[in-house]
Structure 1
Amino acid sequence: MMKIRDKFQNLMLQEDLNFLVTNRIPRITLTRFMGWWSQLRNPLIVKASIAVWRWFTDLDLSESKQQTFATLHACFTRELKPGLRPIDPNPAVMSSPCDCIVGACGVISDGMVFQAKGFPYTLDSLLSSPDLAQRWPSALEGGTFVTMRLTSSMYHRFHAPCDAHLSHVTYISGDTWNVNPIALARVKELFCKNERAVLQMKTAEGTPFLIVPVAAVLVASMRFHAVDVLLNLRYKGPNDIPCDAHYSKGQEMGWFEHGSTILVFVPPGYALAAGIENGKRIRMGEALLVKN
């Protein structure tokens, strides 16, 4: 069985096949189906689904606060045992909002950033809204961006990177392309095509920054504690949702269902923390950005 699994996983590493299987499919239909399937309260379905999930990935539930789950959704959005994600206490540090693999990261130049080498996109396209595009690219010019990819087996909740205030959530309905490195190197402006939410935030000192969770294939929804509606492909608006939520560093903000990507954009005055580079695997609470 292990040999069959290893052969299958090696097969899926072939880029053409991976892209075909995870993208040239009815993405939105399958994503809606996953939203329905994950809510089924049938112990046999839940156990079988988790077994299949483990077969395809490196899913490890040893850190989970719960060990039995009423639905697949409950497993996707599981909490961790207390104390497993210590938060960097340095007030000059923005900690990682999630467990992730760091993707493209660097300096924001001429309103442009990268999803992968040779594949740029503009903040204007990502933000979509004229009001956001008028304000944020200029405020972030010369600052830093970080792409954080959550695989399906990872802890899916995300947290405040610092003491912060959330003033607006702008939800942008869209497609559900896979966001793995293979797709990012093939689909231009992928993040600008997918379902996403723009979180307008400020640090306790008043420095503005953005967190942009981006959904992907099989990601049934995004949940933000500050918003009293489940944001998913069936939600059409209003797109601009005012908020007044205050967070302590490390406080939970919401979750994805399945796995996806979080983009962080900060203005000049911050730099990548030591060791943060493309391909680095980090955990929620570890240093991500640091004041210059």
Structure 2
Amino acid sequence: MDERHAAPPLDGRSATAGPGWLKRLVAQEDLNFLLTNRVPRIALTRLMGRFARIESPLLTRLSIGIWRMFTPLDLSEARHTRFRSLKDCFTRELKDGARPFDARPEVFASPSDGIVGATGVVERGQVYQAKGFPYSTEELFGPTQDASVFEGGRYVTLRLTSAMYHRFHAPADGTVEHVTYLSGDTWNVNPVALARVERLFCRNERAVVRMRLASGHPVALVPVAAILVASIRLHFLDVLLHLGRRGANEMPCRAPHVKGQEMGWFEHGSTIIVFVPPGFELAEGIAQGVQVRAGQALLKLR
């Protein structure tokens, strides 16, 4: 069975036998899962995309006001504070210097703001989205891409919430050599869904961005879309990747980047999975649950 509908144990005790707070927490997780996944996900995502593009100052201010009621949206770092549409707010640029990138050559910086999720070593082509929920790099990368170069290397999952800065940047000096776009579903990518839906990242819409660093190391960034977000913009291809592109779309390229250069954006919150080959280790302080900012040291070359 691909989906697990019961909430996973939170502390080794049964939810029915646990204290009141545990029952309430499990009930909240069930409600969250129901509201964000037991709905026509792709239809809602397309509808949200159309709504977010409506250019109306009044509607935009109202939408942002409602958005702020449910998320810690902070626009103090935004380059502009007046937005033509909700999309403009989602994809906002920041003031110069708001995200300085660690300049040390051995540092692989975080390409985006995010919360560190599952991280570990690629073993026999297998990685994890949550405890007990493995998936294969072969399936994630798609039928046309060879992920074996990352065997024994590390992966780091970065989850972007809806209130975060949604643009992502080059984590180091290097050249983007290939992009594979794979259309798919739009499951929510929050921890509740990751602990219940097997192989979730392999089901969702995603792009596999293959890059070779100036050091010669191959790396990959895999932006994964989610419910209400199914559009990924890549500047160096001047293309908007969206659900209308079926199948595996192969886009070879040669796009040099310097560390910190903007690569593209999501049109809402989502996830980026980073893959590096053997020879890298986690930077100091990087662990599951830690919130990072674009430019912060994520991995270091030993």
1:140 to 2:150 alignment? yes
Match of 1:181 in 2: 191
Of 283, 289, 292, 1:282 maps to 292
Q: Deviations over 1:232-258 (max 9, x none)?
A: 112236700111101000100000001
Go from structure 1 to structure 2 and tell me whether the alpha carbon gap of 1:37 and 1:11 turns closer, same or farther (over 3 Å shift): farther
1:97 to 2:111 alignment? yes
**Runs of 4+ displaced beyond 3 Å:** 10-13
Of 101, 106, 116, 2:120 maps to 106
Q: Deviations over 1:262-283 (max 9, x none)?
A: 0000000101111111100010
TM-score for the superposition, normalised by structure 1: 0.93
Q: Distance in 1 between matches of 2:83 and 2:230?
A: 18
Q: Is the 1:12–1:18 contact (alpha carbons within 8 Å) kept by the matching residues of 2?
A: no
Q: Distance in 2 between matches of 1:87 and 1:99?
A: 12
- Aligned AA (1:232): H
Q: Distance in 2 between matches of 1:69 and 1:97?
A: 25
Q: Distance in 1 between matches of 2:170 and 2:27?
A: 33
TM-score for the superposition, normalised by structure 2: 0.90
Where does 1:113-262 land on structure 2 (aligned, <5 Å)?
A: 113-129=127-143, 131-132=144-145, 135-137=146-148, 139-236=149-246, 239-262=249-272
Of 61, 66, 79, 1:47 maps to 61
Matched residue of 2:129: which SS? strand
Q: Is the 1:169–1:200 contact (alpha carbons within 8 Å) kept by the matching residues of 2?
A: yes
Q: Distance in 1 between matches of 2:27 and 2:270?
A: 18
Percent identity between matched residues is 59
Q: Distance in 2 between matches of 1:121 and 1:143?
A: 16
Match of 2:87 in 1: 73
Of 37, 50, 61, 2:51 maps to 37
Q: Distance in 2 between matches of 1:111 and 1:268?
A: 13
Q: Where does structure 2 lack aligned partners over 5 or more consecutive residues?
A: 1-23
Q: Distance in 1 between matches of 2:115 and 2:51?
A: 27
- Aligned AA (1:90): R
Q: Distance in 2 between matches of 1:203 and 1:238?
A: 25
Matched residue of 1:166: which SS? strand
Match of 1:6 in 2: none
